[in-house]
Amino acid sequence: MSDVVEKTLTALPSLLSLDSQPGSAKLSTNSKLGSLIRGITELTSKHEEEKLIQRELSSIKEQVSSPNTTMRQMKELMVRTIYCEMLGYEATFSYIHAIKLAQQGNVLEKRVGYLAVSLFLNESHELLLLLVNTVLKDLQSTNLIEVCMALTVVSQMFPKDMIPAILPLVEEKLNHSKEIIRRKAVLALYKFYLIAPNQVQHIHNRFRKALCDKDPGVMSASLHIYLQLIQENPESYKDLTASFVTILKQVVAGKLPMDFNYHSVPAPWLQIQLLRILSLLGKSDQSTSEVMYEILDESLRRAEMNHNITYAILYECVKCIYTIHPKSELLEKAAKVIGNFVLSQRINLKYLGLKALTYVVHQDPRLALQHQMTIIECLDHPDVIIKRETLELLFRITNDQNVTVIVEKMLDFMSINKEDHTTADLVGKVAELAEKYAPDNEWFVETMNTVFSVGGDTLQPDIPNSFLKLLSEGFDDEEENKKLRLFAVNSYISLLQGEPSKLPQRFLQAICWVLGEYSHLREDVEPDLVLRLLVKLLNIKSTSSETKSWILMAMTKLCSGGAPLSVPLEVSETYSSSMDTMLRQRAQELQYLSQNPELQARVLPRGVSQEPMEVDSSLSFLDGFVSEALAAGAAPYKPPHQRQEELSRSKALSLEPYGLSLPISMSSCSIADRQSPTLLSVSSGLSGDRTDHSHKGGSTTLKLDGVRRVWGKEGYLAQRESAEETAPVEAPSPLQPLVQQGDGDASYSQTPTPIPECEQEKQQLASSLFVGLASQSSVCLMGKSEQTSQRFRRKLKDPAASFPSSTQNPLVSPPSSVGHLLLDSSISSDLISSPEQTHLSSVDLTVANGEVELPDRDMKGIKSTLLREDSALAAGSSPHEELDRPKDSCLTSHLPAELSGLPHSEITPLCTSPSLDLSSCHVQKDDSLVLLVFMKSSSDYDIQQIQVQVTCEELEVSCVCDSPVEELKSHGVVVCQYFLTVKSPSVYFVLSGMMSHQIPDNSLQETQFSHRIPLTSFLRPLRLSTEEYGTMWLAFSHDTKQNLPLMMDAEEPLTATLKVLKDKLQLHVVEIIGNEGIVACCLRQDQPCLLHCRVHAGMLAVWLRSPIPELPDCLLYHCQRALQES
Amino acid sequence: MIKAILIFNNHGKPRLIRFYQYFAEDMQQQIIRETFHLVSKRDDNVCNFLEGGSLIGGSDYKLIYRHYATLYFVFCVDSSESELGILDLIQVFVETLDKCFENVCELDLIFHMDKVHYILQEVVMGGMVLETNMNEIIAQVEVQNRLEKSEVRPFLSSSKSFPLIYVFGFSQVSAIKYSLSVL
């Protein structure tokens, strides 16, 4: 501050003299800003500041909009506005004036204008479009400063859609004679590449030219681009390795002009950039790595430790050496450098040293061992960042022997750390370690308790999920399970007896679940006691309504334990009139079930949860209810995407009468809501509104799917078990002193670093921390290693049996008939959407109901069947390949002659009666789809009077021969053909059919079946010209837009993506121009659908139009799926 | 990529704010506050790196800062930047300011925020490091300043042959500083 005073004192005389000089433009401009600043400094409160700035802004506003304001004044006003904006006061009114200033001012005014624009606006701001012309003009200016300014603003932000307009001009600048212009142009192009990679695809060779530019500055600018390109796709740039090595060689050897030296280090930033590029190129590629060994060695040697910036180079070198294909000589040197970093007194270097150690520890655990004393010291470092980094390192080297110490260190850190972000991160790590390496139950439960209480509500939801999952699934040993659960129950009862109001909500929810499930394990505790504890919890004000739901669920479970009914009744009474629907639902359940022990026993069976459970995800048990409701006049169910569409259609009528495509409407309404029809239909498939509601609201509740599995592969379990039996690991609880930890530890004697005697304590800490590192140095020690033995393991189960394990969770275990009453719907929907689970249930269903396919509403649930369909589709091109099943192959021979050459789907069984097997497939003819029903007799006698009827609401079904099949010979086969045409499109068409035939005693036997055909089977390419397309496009009124994933890894993403669509869905690609493509298809000649595809922001923006209302939506669904699967 | 460059004083008053990634206005202010909060409680003898807070993009981001007398210079960068490299870049930037303003101090930044922006534009362009050579940066700024002085359209001659330091006519400016330093 003293120099400020000094400076101002010396300036004092001139101030006085200048005051008397009116008309000095400079002073007057500055004095206005000056008085503003002075005004602000005088203020004492934020409130006053606000008032002052608002006053200032309104005066600015007045002036900028006045026609008399000159550009010069405008420039000054703009600077003041920038100042106000910096302080956080928006001045939206000035944006347009900033653009005007950039447009109309002279160079200096323009400069302020551009600066203001780049500070005020962002890439997607609509006003930015007004700047395009100005930029265009300035790019063509002969004044280099204007060109520079234009390039600068372009690289700061430019509307993505307008890039093509200025691209040629910017490209041209790559050949400019001034290096600064070339350099800025390169960076501007890089920026374009970042925001719209496809736009600059064609100028990749220009980048190469920039790399070879004679000016090193331009070359180093082009490295930005190459770093990015190589990161995305190292393979295509391997040929440049030698060039990069040569450049680096020249730089290191000091061949660049002296100008590029920084503290006598030649172009250090350039070196850093090159080293990064090399490490990307050499990663797991021996031959490429070999090219760079020499220069890396040279770099290490040249970078003498004399200045901060050389450390930066060394650090990059080390990282590079450890990333590329290893060479022992270099590794040794690099290890030494890391050592120097870690041991350095300069704290920044220590930090980087630790970071480097963390980076390499999985390759070279010995290195961590070498520096163990330093690491221990860092644990007690006054700088939290260093501590944090050390913990990260320890996390990487955790194994089952040092876990208690490391976790304790982490928990220590968390108790002093106040920052949410770090806490959330660390809590997750502790939970991961605890699950993986916990030495005993007690420790595990206590550690998890700490995790829950410290983590509070910043806790990631998957932590309690996997904890509860672990408790409910258990391990190999039933006895051990019981002990763990019992311990948890004990611990939670005592917690609730303490001060539960201080516990975070997530923790309380977990506690409730455990108590509800397992408190019966503790025989000396009356359920009444637990109930009273829960009631106490319920009455705490801070308990959230979500937690209350959990409490009520726990109570429901407890009531079956023969607890007195008064408490639950009272509670359910209170909450059955709650405003919260979830809570009310729970209260109803509690009331109902507690009064009905029989139902209770069925719904919540206790202790028998080992049986795999079937979930009827199609909710077929509701069919009766639904048909009754329909009969009573209820409206039929519509899947959400259909409702959505109807909604948007009505919206389109009122808002966009001419169906004009505005990009805004496209992104705002349709896309966001329609990302995935699949997802929507799953939630809707569950049941009515209530489910939907809770599904949305349930995002914070426990989710059991998608939880990371951190336990080892089963393969190691048996081995591990025997080891454990013979030599149980003794691990003290974290509360015991550390000193006991390391005794008799092998690695202690192996420690290579000499340790002074006075540091006894640290030594012991070290030995307990680094135990196991030396012995298994060859083993991967990363936290994710599967090879390390783990205490908690999953049960050994055969893969099929392991699916239902998640359903064992008694929360969702009720039999399906009453299930919906008790289902925690959010959880169950999650469960159902987990692929394993649905796979299982769909298989079950297929068997149970004798249906081939599931009803449409359960799209996601039928993964397995969907896959089969696809294979059937794929078989379309080569019809006879897919016939692996003997049954099929014998039926294929019965294909009618006129159809045998056409692609047909896989033959699937429809239904079976005692004497007759029905199978079907569909054959794609050019203009229609033919459904073939194979009737195969399996009886020893002839069957008479077979009649098959097939109907479908959305399809027109016409039978080739209407008369019943008179007779089917014993073990013979008869084929019926049906022509199918689409009446109204749907994602899937479900055909229902009935077959009747006479059995020998002359009575009629009837069997029902259903068959499902995807819309794709009906799709045919529609061949037309671009002009025809254009006329049709305008004529169609029903449209849908959505962004679909683009196949980015292909060379030409658009072409590749369209090809996939073409192959899978039989579309016709009319034309591809630049980043747009038009595609057409039809169901019948009069049912076309046109697609307009455009590459936009790394996505494929698809716009479908058709005269048929439902068609675009249904087709979109299939497009989406086709792309997801490819 | 550099995501943001923040300069604020010891009391958290912003002196120069430059975002290279879009954040809404209130979010920007929140980031400034949070960053100040993180940075200001750190001693001068701890390391210059901070793992990013939750606001500006999570764990991939870090804050690299230097503290000069009354000002904090904070660069928020992603993992593609070298920590030590950025640290020296801050030094280059500050040295450049020092040369342009002759013993730069906080007041220079307050009253010539626009000029500081222009200098910064020659160092970092759209989040990418454009130039690390101080002489070159100054030469570019010079070209623009000459323009300012004469207010006539200049022609750009070979940039590297420029005299190193052009003295801003800032005596009048520093005059105003007096009244401020008293405040």
Label each residue of B85-116 as H, E or C: HHHHHHHHHHHHHHHHHCCCCHHHHHHCHHHH
- A82/B183 CB distance under 8 A: no
Report whether pLDDT(B129) > 50: yes
Please state the φ and ψ torsions of residue A439, each to the nearest 5 degrees.
Answer: -75, -30
Q: What are the percentages of helix, strand and coil residues in chain B, rounded to 5?
A: 50, 20, 35
With CA atoms as reference, the chain B residue closest to A31 would be: B176
- B178/A12 CB distance under 8 A: yes
Q: How does the average pLDDT of chain B come out, rounded?
A: 77
CA atoms of A618 and A686, how far apart (whole Å)? 7
| Residue whose structure tokens are 């269903």 | A845
Report whether pLDDT(A649) > 50: yes
Q: Residue A348 is nearest to which of B49, B133, B181, comparing CB atoms?
A: B49
Pairing of strands A1088-1096, A1099-1106: antiparallel
- B48/A348 CB distance under 8 A: yes
- A108/B151 CB distance under 8 A: yes
pTM recorded for the entire structure = 0.60
Give the A:B interface size as CB pairs under 8 Å: 216
- B25/A85 CB distance under 8 A: yes
- A88/B87 CB distance under 8 A: no
- A276 at interface of B, judged by CB pairs closer than 8 A: yes
| Token representation of residue A561 | 């334990």
**Shortest CA gap A905–chain B (Å):** 49
Q: Residue A107 is nearest to which of B16, B17, B147, comparing CB atoms?
A: B147
Report whether pLDDT(A527) > 80: no
What is the H or E stretch that residue A58 is in?
helix A46-65
Name the more confident of A726 and B36: B36
Per-residue pLDDT of A323-361, as tens digits, reads: 999 888 898 888 888 888 888 888 889 999 998 888 888
- B171/A11 CB distance under 8 A: yes
With CA atoms as reference, the chain A residue closest to B46 would be: A383
Show residues of chain A in contact with B133, CB under 8 Å.
259-260, 262
With CA atoms as reference, the chain A residue closest to B1 would be: A224
Task: Please give the pLDDT value at position A425.
Answer: 80
* β-sheet bridge partners, residue A946: A965
With CA atoms as reference, the chain B residue closest to A227 would be: B80
- The alpha carbon of residue A791 and the mean position of all alpha carbons in its chain are separated, in whole angstroms, by 30
Task: Please give the pLDDT value at position A606.
Answer: 65
A167, A206, A623, A823 from A172: Cα distances, Å: 8, 10, 69, 66
Q: Residue A38 is nearest to which of B16, B17, B179, comparing CB atoms?
A: B179
pLDDT band at A249 (very low <50, low <70, confident <90, very high): very high
- Is the domain defined by A1020-1125 classed in CATH 3.30.310.10? yes
| Residue whose structure tokens are 């669920």 | A553
Show residues of chain B in contact with A37, CB under 8 Å.
110-111, 180
Q: Residue A7 is nearest to which of B26, B103, B140, comparing CB atoms?
A: B103
- A191/B126 CB distance under 8 A: yes
- B47/A122 CB distance under 8 A: no
Per-residue pLDDT of A385-419, as tens digits, reads: 888 888 888 888 888 888 888 888 888 888 877 77
CA atoms of A209 and A197, how far apart (whole Å)? 19
- A308 at interface of B, judged by CB pairs closer than 8 A: yes
CB A44 within 8 A of CB A52: no
Task: Please give the pLDDT value at position A986.
Answer: 81
Show residues of chain A in contact with B129, CB under 8 Å.
269
Can you identify the CATH homologous superfamily of domain A899-1017? Answer: Gamma-adaptin ear (GAE) domain (2.60.40.1230)
- A356 at interface of B, judged by CB pairs closer than 8 A: no
CB A386 within 8 A of CB A378: yes
- A419 at interface of B, judged by CB pairs closer than 8 A: yes
Task: Please give the pLDDT value at position B65.
Answer: 93
Per-residue pLDDT of A173-204, as tens digits, reads: 888 888 899 999 999 999 988 888 887 777 78
Q: Considering only CA atoms, which of A594, A587, A589 is closest in space to residue A563?
A: A594
CB within 8 A of A715, min separation 6: which ones?
Answer: none
Task: Please give the pLDDT value at position A273.
Answer: 92
Mean pLDDT of A1069-1086: 83
pLDDT band at B90 (very low <50, low <70, confident <90, very high): very high
Show residues of chain A in contact with B128, CB under 8 Å.
155, 187, 190-191, 221, 224
Task: State in Å, rounded, how far the first CA of chain A is from the last one.
Answer: 65
Residues 920-979 of A with CB under 8 A from B: none
With CA atoms as reference, the chain A residue closest to B64 would be: A348
Structure ipTM over 0.90, yes or no? no
Least confident of A680-689, A943-952, A1011-1020: A680-689
CB B115 within 8 A of CB B104: no
Least confident of A210-224, A586-600, B78-92: A586-600
- B22/A38 CB distance under 8 A: no
CB B95 within 8 A of CB B82: no
With CA atoms as reference, the chain A residue closest to B106 would be: A4
Task: Please give the pLDDT value at position A1060.
Answer: 83
Task: Please give the pLDDT value at position A757.
Answer: 52
With CA atoms as reference, the chain B residue closest to A218 would be: B130
Show residues of chain B in contact with A312, CB under 8 Å.
82-85, 87-88
The dihedral sign for the CA sequence A18, A23, A29, A35? positive
Task: Please give the pLDDT value at position A746.
Answer: 38
Among A432-436, A808-812, B54-58, the range of highest mean pLDDT: A432-436
- B125/A155 CB distance under 8 A: yes
Report whether pLDDT(A841) > 80: no
- A420 at interface of B, judged by CB pairs closer than 8 A: yes
Show residues of chain B in contact with A12, CB under 8 Å.
175, 178
CA atoms within 13 A on the CB side of B166: 20
Q: How does the average pLDDT of chain A come out, rounded?
A: 73
- A86/B113 CB distance under 8 A: yes
pLDDT over 90 for what percent of chain A? Answer: 7
CA atoms of A571 and A863, how far apart (whole Å)? 43
Show residues of chain B in contact with A74, CB under 8 Å.
none
Which of A1078-1095 are b and which e, b meaning 16 or more Cβ less than 10 Å from the residue's Cβ?
bbbbbbeeebbbbbbbbb
Name the more confident of B60 and A510: A510
- A4/B130 CB distance under 8 A: no
- A348 at interface of B, judged by CB pairs closer than 8 A: yes
| Residue whose structure tokens are 């893969």 | A799
Q: Considering only CA atoms, which of A945, A988, A950, A951 is closest in space to residue A965?
A: A945
| Token representation of residue B24 | 């809404």
CA atoms of B20 and B76, how far apart (whole Å)? 10
- B156/A178 CB distance under 8 A: yes
Q: Residue A145 is nearest to which of B20, B43, B144, comparing CB atoms?
A: B144
Task: Please give the pLDDT value at position A721.
Answer: 37
Among A601-605, A717-721, A848-852, A1102-1106, the range of highest mean pLDDT: A1102-1106
Show residues of chain B in contact with A10, CB under 8 Å.
174
pLDDT band at A806 (very low <50, low <70, confident <90, very high): very low
Please state the φ and ψ torsions of residue A989, each to the nearest 5 degrees.
Answer: -105, 125
